[in-house]
Structure 1
Amino acid sequence: METWIEIVKLKMRERRLTQEQLAERIGCSQGAVNHWLSGRRRPDLDTMNRVLKELGEENLEVVQMLRVNEQRGLYDSANGVAVPQWAISQSAFRYPVLEWAAAGDAKPSIARYSTGKSHVSDYHASGPAFWLRVEGESMSAAYGRSVPSGSLILVDPLAPASPGSLVIVSAPLQQQAVFRELQEEGGRRYLRALNPAWPVLAWESDWHVKGVVVRAMLALEEG
């Protein structure tokens, strides 16, 4: 909840929106917005996501995590199990949250890079997907598509990458994997940061797409 409040306040300042104006746009009272932003009341998940969308954060989703022992993720197709319907309203799968160093590994190991955490998603991965927590401000933008630092991104190593995809790329010259938007012009690829202050990276011959980012979210854990 605190992260959601911080992002909403930041985006309101950037867009010079008052509480009254935001309330009018999402169809509620100014008093309700004031209660949410002061932490006195908590909006439902649909409202939280509607606010993010109205503020231009269409690539973020607030989700509620259900801690149910029977929930297990589809990380390994041999033993993965979908979340039971009685536990959540839609089919979901649990994937591990890995350390950022896993992004540069050809076959990231849960044992080696595990943070000890996992999260569910409705996304049914093509491969051994995993979550990473975004570091730095290269993919944070004041307007339009934005994935702020601290967001969780779900990486599918087998999903097809195309121009416009958010991707994790192994870039040896950068000494680590990078998170960028894949673009192509005149048959040549390049990587674009969503933050306009960051430079465009021309594609190098030894770079490889390690996975496509298929979900981005702000996670609210319920324990």
Structure 2
Amino acid sequence: MKKEHIPNLFEIRSAKLKELADGYETQKKFAEKAGLDPTVVSRMLYPVDKPNRRNIGEKAAREIEAALNLPIGWLDNQDPKEPSNVSYAGPYIPGKKYPVLSSVQAGAWSEAIEAYTLDEISEWLESDAHIQGNAFWLKVEGESMTAPAGISVPEGSFVLFDTGRDPVNGSLVIAKLVDDNEATFKKLIIDTGKKYLKALNPAWPPMIPINGNCKIIGVGVETKMRLI
């Protein structure tokens, strides 16, 4: 009976490295992301019996993991033999952070982008959304945008607003009423050339006509909810 080959640590690391490299368009692009020379990566991926194969030592393994934001020891772990529906999606790429404002601060934002010192903002949330202007997050208060069906933005949700995006019919927008210091979050309705602000909650008051009495500050592009 042929004895089953048990991979050693270097073989495991090489197999895991190949798993990572296969997720990139080219081996060169993977090498750049991992902070390695492409020729070094190529030698690390050589078959076991090929001359000039380069083993992945302890220092190199930890440096590769650090460069790709992987847990320490990830390259050392052999995949389980059971099939898995989980695959490596690539290294985590952090998005840009935007300030979380109150409705009052958002109202001030409509008057001047920096009507207050950004250093005073205590909370910033991340997003990889494509932003066309300046942007900020607003934590939703109240139930006016909670809907029984379709799009619903319940109280406690965070909404990211893009101040450079043009609002269209159906956009969820934040607007500043002339006679109110606070900004309001509503759905924009454009009907036969006339504009209105409407709550998503059908139990809320009728639509508010826009007739020069408010300014749209930004268009909602993303929502997120924190559970803890």
Measured after TM superposition, the shift of residue 90 of structure 1 is: 4.3
- Higher RCO (C-alpha under 8 Å, 6+ residues apart): 1
2:211 maps to 1:208: no
Q: Which of 140, 153, 173 matches 2:146?
A: 140
Which residues in structure 2 correspond to 1:163-174 (within 5 Å)? 163-174=169-180
More strand by share: 1
Instruction: Give 2:35's aligned residue.
Output: none
2:105 maps to 1:102: yes
Structure 2 vs 1, CA of residues 148 and 169 (structure 1 numbering), >3 Å: closer, same or farther?
Answer: same
Amino acid in the other structure paired with 2:219: V
Superposition TM-score, scaled by structure 1 size: 0.56
CA contact (8 A) 2:176 2:217 kept: yes
Instruction: Give 2:14's aligned residue.
Output: none
Amino acid in the other structure paired with 2:198: R
**SS of residue in 2 equivalent to 1:167:** strand
Unaligned runs of 5+ in 2: 1-66, 70-90
Instruction: Give 1:111's aligned residue.
Output: 117
In 2, distance between residues paired with 1:113 and 1:189? 36
Deviations 1:136-164 (A, max 9, x none): 11001121111001100111111110001
Superposition TM-score, scaled by structure 2 size: 0.54
Structure 2 vs 1, CA of residues 161 and 86 (structure 1 numbering), >3 Å: closer, same or farther?
Answer: farther
Q: Which of 166, 181, 196 matches 1:160?
A: 166
* Aligned-pair identity (%): 37
Q: How many residues align?
A: 137
**Over alpha carbons, which structure has the higher Rg?**
2
Structure 2 vs 1, CA of residues 86 and 102 (structure 1 numbering), >3 Å: closer, same or farther?
Answer: farther
CA contact (8 A) 1:141 1:195 kept: yes
**SS of residue in 2 equivalent to 1:96:** strand
Deviations 1:89-108 (A, max 9, x none): 34621111122212212224
Q: Please tell me the root mean square deviation across aligned C-alpha atoms, in Å.
A: 2.2
